[in-house]
Amino acid sequence: MSEHKPRKSNESKPPKAFGWMAEYVDEASLLSASRKVRDSGYTKTDAFTPFPVHGIDEALGIKPTILPFLVLCAGLTGMTTALLMQWWMNGVDYKYIISGKPFGITPASIPVAFELTILFSAFTSFLGMFALNQLPKFSNPVFTNPKFDRATNDRFFLYVSSADKYYNRESVKDLLAATHPESLDEVMEDTTPAALPRPILLGAMLLVFAGLIPGAIILNMRAGFSNLPRLHVFFDMDFQPKKKSQQQTTVFADGRTMRPQVAGTIARGQLEEQDPFYLGFDPAKISATTGRSDLMLVSTAVQPPEGEPAPAEPAPAEPAPAEPVKTEGTPENQPPAEQPPAEQPPAEGEMPATEPATPTETVPAETAPSQIPATPLEPAKAVEPAPAAVPAPAQAAAPASGTPALNLPWVEKLPIEATEAHMKLGKLKYETYCSACHGYAGFGDGLVHKRAESLLQPTWIPPTSLHADRVRTQPVGQIFHTITKGQGKMASYATSITPKERWAIVLYVKALQRSRNASIEDVPVEDRSKLEEAK
Ligand code: HEC
C-alpha cells in the first residue's frame, strides 16, 4: 500500500518545474515585461496583481472571451423556448379565450419570453464563467513560492508556464531576467501530499453515511405499516392547553370559545360595509327586519330552503329561452329548476326580502335629455343581443342569463347629484372600463365581444345589453352593486373604479338607457311642439 503514496515517490524524483515567475514592484514594469513576453510569442502566461491592472489583457495578449456569444445564444434559446411554449399551450393544445385575445403568440407572450431570456442568459453567464476559467481550482504551483503571498498585498507577478509550446527553460529565464525583476524563481511542483488527511476523510465518510439515514427511514416508513403512535418530538407543541374557534368552553357563560365582537367595534374596512354609498343597498334595512346583519355576509342570493313548496307564481317553463350560447356553454350557470321569482317572500330564517324593488327612474327629467352625450348613436335594433320578447320583467322571473336574481334593499335614488360634471365623469369612466365589452352605446357589442364572437369560442358569455329589460328595470343601487361585486361572468371593478366614479357610471348608464327608451313626457312641455314640427 504505502509505496503508492506520492510522498515516497517524490523523495526519489526531483520535483517537476512548471515554468518561471518574475516579481515586480509596480504595475508599469509588469506591463512592459508582459508586452515583451507577449511579443516573444508566449501565450501560456499569467499575471497576478493586488488590484485590477488596466491594459493587462492586451499586454498579455489575452483574446476576448467567447462568453458574450454563449450568453447571446442562451438568451435566444430562452426566448424561442418561451414563445414556442406559449404558442403550443394557448394556440394549439388548450385554446381558451382570455379577454378576447387572439391565440398563439401575442404581445401578452412578451413577459414570459423576457423572463426565460433573462433566466437562460443568467445561468449561462454564471456557469459559463466557471467553466471557461476552469474553476474551482484549489491549488496552483505558484503557491509553492513563499514570495507569492505578496501578490495580494504590494507585488506584481508574471508567470510563464512550461506548458507553452515555445517554452525553453534557459531562454525564458533570460527573457525575464532582461526585464529587471525584483526576483526571478522557477515554479516548482507542489509536493504536499494531494490525498486528504485520514481523519478528514473518515469524518467526511461518516457525514455522507449519516446523510443517508433520513432517506432510509423515510423509505422504510413509506414501504411498511406501523400501529405505534406517531413520535411527538415537541410534546407540548402537539398537545397544547387551548380551545379552537368552534369548540365549547366553560370559561364564558355562553359556552362559546369564539367571542362575538364587542358592541360598537368597527374593524378595519368595516366602516364602509355599513354605508349604502359603498354597497348599493342598505344593510340597516336587512338588520331591521331580521336583527341579523351578519346574514348579509353569508349570502346575497335568495334561495328557498330545501323541501319548501314550489313558488306560487310559476317560473316560465323554459327558464332560458334565449341566448343558446350561454345555456350550452355554461351548464353551471343554469338556474336551478325551482329557482323562485325574486319577489317570493322568504321563509323564516332565510334572507329577508324588503319591499320588492320597484324600478324607479332617477335621472331628473329636466337634466337627462340635454345631458345625454351625442356619441353613442349606433343602430339600436341590429345589435341588440337580448331576446325580442322577454317573457316577464326581469325582476319577476328567473333571469335569462342564468345568474340568480338578487333581491336586496337596493338604493333607489342616486346618492350623487345628476350634474353635468358627474355625467362627464361617468361617460369618461364608462368608456374606459365598460365600453370594451358593453359597447359605447351599451348594447353589449364592444370590441372584446366582437373579437370573441369572430373566434366562435363556445365558452364566451356575451356581455348583457344595458338596454335589456333586465337591466333597464334595475334600481341604481343594483347596477352599482354589479360594478362593485361583479355579476355572473363579469368581474368586479371595485379596485379600479372609486365608489363616486361608480355612481357616476350608473348615472351615465341610466342616461344611456333613457336615450333609447324615452317618451314624450320626458321632453319639457315647451319643447314638445318643436318635436311635432320636426316630424
Ligand atoms: C370584460 C367584459 C366586461 C366589462 C369590461 C364589463 N362588463 Fe358588464 N357584463 C359582462 C358580461 C359577460 C355580463 C353578463 C354576466 C353574466 O350574466 O354572466 C355583464 C353584465 C353586466 C350587467 C348586467 C348585470 C345583471 O344583473 O345581469 C350590467 C349592469 C353590467 N354588466 C354593467 C357593466 C358596467 C357598468 C361596466 C363598467 C364598469 C361593465 N359592465 C364592464 C362583461 C363585461
* Alpha-carbon gap, residue 488 to 477, rounded angstroms: 17
Distance 488 CA to ligand 1 centre (A): 8
Q: Is the Cβ–Cβ distance between 298 and 368 less than 8 Å?
A: no
**Structural domains of the chain in order of their starting residue, each with its CATH number:** 11-191 (no CATH), 277-305+325-522 (1.10.760.10)
Measured in degrees and rounded to the nearest 5, phi and psi for residue 526 equal -70, -20
Summarised one tens digit per residue, pLDDT across range 51-79 is 999 999 999 999 889 999 999 999 999 99
Tell me if 512 CB under 6 Å of ligand 1.
Answer: no
29 close to ligand 1 (CB < 6 Angstrom): no
The Cα–Cα gap between 423 and 505 comes to 8
Digit-coded pLDDT (tens) for 275-294: 899 999 988 887 666 555 44
Q: What is the C-alpha separation between 184 and 21, in angstroms, rounded?
A: 6
Q: Is cis: bond before 304, omega within 30 of 0?
A: no
Is residue 480 within 6 Å of ligand 1 at its C-beta? Answer: no
Predicted local confidence at residue 310, as pLDDT: 41
Q: Residue 342 pLDDT > 70, yes or no?
A: no
pLDDT, position 289: 63
Comparison of pLDDT for 235 and 125, the residue scoring more: 125
Q: What percent of the chain has pLDDT over 70?
A: 75
User: Nearest 5 degrees, angle CA 35-CA 41-CA 47?
Assistant: 45
pLDDT computed for residue 356 by the predictor: 41
Length of the chain: 535
Nearest residue (by CA) to ligand 1, atom 36, is: 434
Residue whose Cα lies nearest atom 23 of ligand 1: it is 464
Decide if pLDDT at 344 tops 80: no
Q: Which pLDDT tens digit goes with each residue over 451-463?
A: 888 887 788 899 9
For residues 11 and 178, is the Cβ–Cβ distance under 8 A?
A: no
Choice from 487, 502, 512 to test ligand 1 binding pocket (greatest atom count within 8 A of CB):
487
| Ligand 1 centroid, distance to 418 Cα (angstroms) | 23
Look at residue 337 and tell me whether its pLDDT is greater than 50: no
| From 451, 460, 465, 490, mutation site for ligand 1 pocket: most ligand atoms within 8 A of C-beta | 490
- The CA–CA distances, whole Å, from 340 to 297, 346, 473, 478 equal 21, 10, 18, 19
48 lines ligand 1 (CB under 6 A): no
For the CA of 479, the nearest atom of ligand 1: 29
Report whether pLDDT(380) > 90: no
For 261-277, b/e burial (b = at least 16 CB within 10 A) is eeeeeeeeeeeeeeebe
The span from the CA of 6 to the CA of 322, in Å, is 91
From the CB of 295, is ligand 1 less than 6 Å away? no
Name the residue of 438, 440, 495, 507 whose CB sits within 8 Å of the most ligand 1 atoms, as the mutation to test its pocket: 438
- Hey, what's the cell of 512? 344611456
Residue of the CA atom closest to atom 21 of ligand 1: 464
pLDDT of 183 higher than 90: yes
Asked if residues 185 and 20 have their Cβ atoms less than 8 Å apart, the reply is: yes
CA–centroid distance, residue 490 to ligand 1 (Å): 5
- Ligand 1 neighbourhood includes 158 CB (under 6 angstroms): no
Closest residue to atom 40 of ligand 1, CA basis: 434
- Average pLDDT, stretch 238-259? 90
- Residue 396 Cβ inside 6 Å of ligand 1? The answer reads no
How would you label 437-452 residue by residue, b for 16+ Cβ within 10 Å and e otherwise? bbbbbbbbbbebbebb
